[in-house]
């Protein structure tokens, strides 16, 4: 039975993704309630993406919240579905622009507080802790946390009830009947909510291209047990720092094999501390300091560490380069990559694995053994949740374009006829009436450049990318009162070849082009610095192009005595 509508004329429930639609990562969704000219807004998740090779110097990418900032007086809060970086990693960066309460489960709160402390915001951000299974009001939104299974403690789907309709926002989830840490997915509650009536299901699309069911964490734990049991020398397991269930499985495998455990990586240690504070890993025992790794017999030690995605400063990368201050691996040792390589990280991960191979270390990945299971639903898990919820409409989310379109096609094949595909910045009316796109809003990305938030368009990363292709020429000229050169121009080249094809030094060729160009400028036009700069810049780029085939970036400085 569908939910009864009690809407006022002109009131509606809308969804506006600002990140996470048409991409994997940077999740940020706004739900709006009210009239077209005055809506109350609830934000679900505020996450990051990580910089790509095409964004040199950029480690973190944030959603652009220009629309949410413009509606700040009507924004009632932020609800976080779970503690992965792509769902809460932007809070510390962007909360000062919003300044609203943040609602999350105890584990998410523990990790968030540590992150906020790094920004000096731990005493400023109001964090309201709500356990899984709780139901609470945020403005006029009635929100309920429903337990699901995923690759981190306390993931929650959200039932968002309003006078205009009910939406079920899945967050990240899968159906795992034998998870290694609690809770189980709350099938009973999800079925009850489906019986109440779900107008729209906003659902994770990450794994929709795969048929069947995702393997259970219990199956991965069995594989780790087997690999560790037969290992004759040192064992290292690298996985996502937030994957407490996988860490628990690795710890159990080590204990069964009589191995001591060393933890390496600040993020890993932080996660373990928060997990223990929240009642997880109660039987994990004690861990040894990194310095102990080299003193224990090889068959009596296991390392659990960060770096499964090839991060250059992470523990396993430094070990592979033989640059870690306290930990090293040798011929015959074993490293298990208990993770999936996130798209875009393939080269970095391969580099780490190749470095380990050069040390004589055996490497096992998910290509060779069941050492990883995704935290996202395959097709049969999606089909099951459709049956439990019986939603009127589906909005695929958390996926690239091909995932969203495949999810839409699969949902229709399962009998859901009302499906809307949206990307960031498209506003969809979920209720009342048919789900459909009704408006647009500004959406985009921001770069974190060092400690600063900078624009993407015409920002420094775009400039650096161009520099990486064509290099830089700096030209400095000093003119006297008669607009003549006081001394030879100063030329600085960075990123250009040293010589031309015929062996002429590139700096000499550029200098000659600058001098010739200056002499060709009529003396009256030399009074204008801009004229001088443009003439010399054009000459440099033309000369470089003729000799090299590329036009460098050129900066000209004019000084006058």
- At 15 the three-state DSSP class reads strand
Rounded CA gap, 24 and 26, in Å? 7
Does residue 413 sit in the same domain as residue 494? no
pLDDT confidence bin for 283, thresholds 50/70/90:
confident
> What average pLDDT score do residues 164-193 get?
96
Cβ pair 199, 392 in contact under 8 A: yes
pLDDT confidence bin for 54, thresholds 50/70/90:
confident
Per-residue model confidence (pLDDT) at position 172: 97
pLDDT confidence bin for 243, thresholds 50/70/90:
very high
At 143, list the tokens: 């929100």
- Residue 347 burial (CB count, 10 A): 10
Does residue 161 sit in the same domain as residue 65? yes
Does residue 243 sit in the same domain as residue 267? yes
Per-residue model confidence (pLDDT) at position 3: 36
Domain residues for the domain of 539 are: 471-560
Boundary-marking domain end, from 455, 484, 515: 455
- At 419 the three-state DSSP class reads strand
> What average pLDDT score do residues 51-58 get?
82
- The predicted-structure confidence for 119-155, as pLDDT tens digits, reads as follows 999 999 999 999 999 999 999 999 999 999 999 999 9
Per-residue model confidence (pLDDT) at position 290: 93
CATH of the domain at 159: 3.60.15.10
Rounded CA gap, 93 and 540, in Å? 41
The answer on pLDDT for 5 being more than 80 is no
Does residue 72 sit in the same domain as residue 181? yes
Does residue 164 sit in the same domain as residue 267? no
Cβ pair 472, 456 in contact under 8 A: no
Per-residue model confidence (pLDDT) at position 52: 80
438 part of a folded domain: yes
Helices within 177-327 (DSSP H only): 187-196, 217-230, 244-256, 266-277, 315-320
Find the range with the poorest average confidence among 49-58, 399-408, 542-551.
49-58
> In sequence order, which residues have a C-beta less than 8 Å from that of residue 32 and are 6 or more positions away?
13, 14, 15, 16, 39, 40, 41, 42, 427
301 part of a folded domain: yes
Backbone angles phi, psi at 317, to 5 degrees: -65, -45
Per-residue model confidence (pLDDT) at position 6: 41
> What average pLDDT score do residues 505-509 get?
96
> What average pLDDT score do residues 376-382 get?
98
> What average pLDDT score do residues 69-98 get?
97
369 part of a folded domain: no
Per-residue model confidence (pLDDT) at position 187: 98
2 part of a folded domain: no
Does residue 84 sit in the same domain as residue 205? yes
Rounded CA gap, 302 and 390, in Å? 47
> What average pLDDT score do residues 433-454 get?
93
The answer on pLDDT for 441 being more than 80 is yes
Per-residue model confidence (pLDDT) at position 343: 77
> What average pLDDT score do residues 204-226 get?
97
Rounded to 5 degrees, what angle do the CA atoms 420, 421, 422 make? 115
- Residue 226 burial (CB count, 10 A): 13
CA atoms within 13 A on the CB side of 1: 6
Per-residue model confidence (pLDDT) at position 36: 83
Does residue 360 sit in the same domain as residue 380? no
Rounded to 5 degrees, what angle do the CA atoms 78, 79, 81 make? 145
Does residue 201 sit in the same domain as residue 228? no
- The predicted-structure confidence for 321-331, as pLDDT tens digits, reads as follows 999 999 999 99
> What average pLDDT score do residues 196-208 get?
97
> What average pLDDT score do residues 397-405 get?
96
At 10, list the tokens: 């002109």
The answer on pLDDT for 1 being more than 80 is no
Q: Based on the structure, what is the number of domains in the chain?
A: 3
C-alpha pair distances (Å), 375 with each of 89, 207, 224, 349, 378: 18, 9, 17, 20, 10
């Amino acid at each position: 039975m569908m939910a009864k509508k009690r809407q006022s004329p002109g009131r509606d429930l809308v969804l506006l993704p600002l990140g996470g639609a048409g991409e994997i990562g940077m999740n940020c969704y706004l739900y709006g309630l009210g009239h077209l000219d005055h809506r109350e807004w609830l934000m679900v998740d505020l996450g990051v993406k990580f910089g790509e090779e095409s964004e040199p110097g950029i480690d973190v990418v944030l959603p652009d919240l220009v629309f949410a900032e413009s509606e700040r007086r009507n924004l009632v809060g932020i609800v976080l579905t779970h503690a992965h970086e792509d769902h809460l990693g932007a809070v510390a960066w962007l909360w000062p622009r919003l300044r609203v309460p943040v609602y999350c489960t105890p584990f998410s709160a523990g990790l968030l507080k540590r992150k906020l402390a790094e920004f000096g915001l731990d005493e400023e951000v109001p964090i309201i802790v709500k356990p899984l299974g709780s139901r609470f009001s945020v403005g006029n939104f009635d929100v309920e946390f429903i337990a699901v299974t995923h690759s981190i403690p306390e993931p929650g789907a959200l039932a968002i009830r309003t006078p205009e309709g009910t939406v079920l926002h899945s967050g990240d989830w899968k159906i795992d009947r034998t998870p290694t840490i609690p809770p189980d997915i709350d099938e009973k509650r999800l079925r009850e909510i489906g019986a109440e009536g779900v107008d729209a299901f906003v659902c994770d699309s990450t794994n929709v291209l795969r048929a069947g069911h995702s393997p259970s964490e219990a199956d991965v734990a069995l594989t780790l047990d087997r690999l560790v049991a037969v290992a004759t020398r040192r064992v290292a397991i690298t996985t996502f720092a937030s994957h407490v269930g996988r860490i628990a499985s690795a710890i159990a495998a080590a204990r069964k094999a009589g191995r001591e455990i060393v933890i390496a990586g600040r993020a890993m240690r932080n996660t373990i501390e928060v997990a223990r504070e929240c009642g997880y890993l109660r039987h994990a025992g004690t861990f040894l300091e990194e310095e102990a790794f080299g003193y224990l017999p090889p068959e009596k030690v296991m390392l659990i560490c960060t770096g499964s995605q090839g991060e250059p400063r992470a523990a396993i990368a430094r070990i592979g380069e033989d640059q870690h201050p306290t930990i090293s691996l040798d011929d015959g040792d074993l490293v298990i990559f208990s993770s999936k390589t996130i798209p875009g990280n393939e080269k970095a991960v391969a580099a780490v694995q190749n470095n380990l191979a050069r040390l004589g270390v055996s490497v096992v990945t998910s290509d060779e053994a069941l050492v990883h299971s995704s935290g996202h639903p395959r097709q049969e898990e999606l089909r099951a949740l459709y049956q439990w919820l019986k939603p009127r409409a589906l909005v695929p989310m958390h996926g690239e374009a091909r995932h969203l379109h495949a999810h839409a096609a699969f949902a229709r094949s399962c009998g859901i006829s009302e499906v809307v595909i949206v990307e960031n910045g498209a506003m969809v009316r979920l209720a009342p009436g048919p789900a459909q796109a009704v408006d647009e809003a500004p959406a985009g990305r921001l770069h974190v450049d060092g400690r600063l938030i900078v624009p993407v368009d015409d920002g420094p990363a775009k400039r650096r990318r161009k520099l990486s292709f064509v290099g830089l020429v700096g030209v400095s000229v000093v003119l006297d009162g008669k607009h003549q050169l006081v001394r030879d121009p100063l030329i600085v080249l960075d990123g250009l070849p040293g010589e031309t094809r015929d062996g002429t030094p590139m700096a000499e060729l550029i200098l000659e082009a600058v001098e010739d160009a200056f002499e060709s400028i009529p003396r009256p036009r030399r009074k204008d610095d801009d004229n001088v700069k443009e003439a010399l810049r054009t000459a440099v780029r033309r000369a470089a192009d003729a000799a090299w085939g590329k036009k460098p970036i050129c900066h000209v400085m004019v000084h006058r005595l």
